[in-house]
Amino acid sequence: MDAGLAALLGAAVGSAATLGAAIVNGRAQARSQHDQWRRQHRRDAYAKYLSALHDRDIAMDAILSALQPEEPNLHDVDEKVTRFITLAREVHRAVEVVTLEGPPSVTEAAEHVTHASSNLSQVMRRMVNNARAGDSTQKAADSALATEREQLLYQSVKDFRLAARDTLGNAD
């Protein structure tokens, strides 16, 4: 083989190798950018959900506090319930985005939060209904149950945070 043909063949092989490396690097960079984009969308969804939960839980605490006096101010309780309902809707909207963004481990953790929240809300609703009816016979038992369910809700939110951190790669 003469030197010109060898040089031409070497240049062709070098060009093909360079092109192949560029394609591989381009795909890797595109994949990395997509992963970063997806991580950011998940992070935003998880943060919005946690923020909505926080606001709603503060509203629930306000209701439970307003129910503590021997004769609660029912107008005040009703205003706090209205605020709670508005914030609960925000939580429902935010959890839908969390569910869409996934992955299943985070969705499952969010479902546990929803279940724990529902259990606490049932007690709160019963307490509100009893206060409206002037029935305080279950007040102490419901207050104790609400405290227990608040702890379960807190734990499920904590578990959600851990699942979200694992998904985002912030496990340390």
Give the Cα separation of 100 and 79 in Å (integer): 33
Q: Are 134 and 5 in contact (CB under 8 A)?
A: no
Q: Are 125 and 78 in contact (CB under 8 A)?
A: no
Helix (H, G, I), strand (E, B) or coil at 68: coil
Give the Cα separation of 104 and 6 in Å (integer): 56
Q: Render pLDDT for 122-169 as a digit per residue (tens, 0 to 9).
A: 999 999 999 999 999 999 999 999 999 999 999 999 999 999 999 998
89: pLDDT confidence band, cut at 50, 70 and 90?
very high
Verdict on whether the full-model pTM lies above 0.95: no
Mean pLDDT of the region 50-77:
95
Q: Render pLDDT for 9-59 as a digit per residue (tens, 0 to 9).
A: 776 766 666 666 656 666 666 566 766 878 898 999 999 999 999 999 999
Query: Which of the four CATH numbers 1.10.3470, 3.40.109, 3.30.450, 1.20.120 does domain 40-168 have?
Result: 1.20.120
What is the token pair recorded at 78? 């009703």
pLDDT of residue 103: 94
Q: Are 76 and 133 in contact (CB under 8 A)?
A: no
Is the pLDDT higher at 81 or at 30?
A: 81
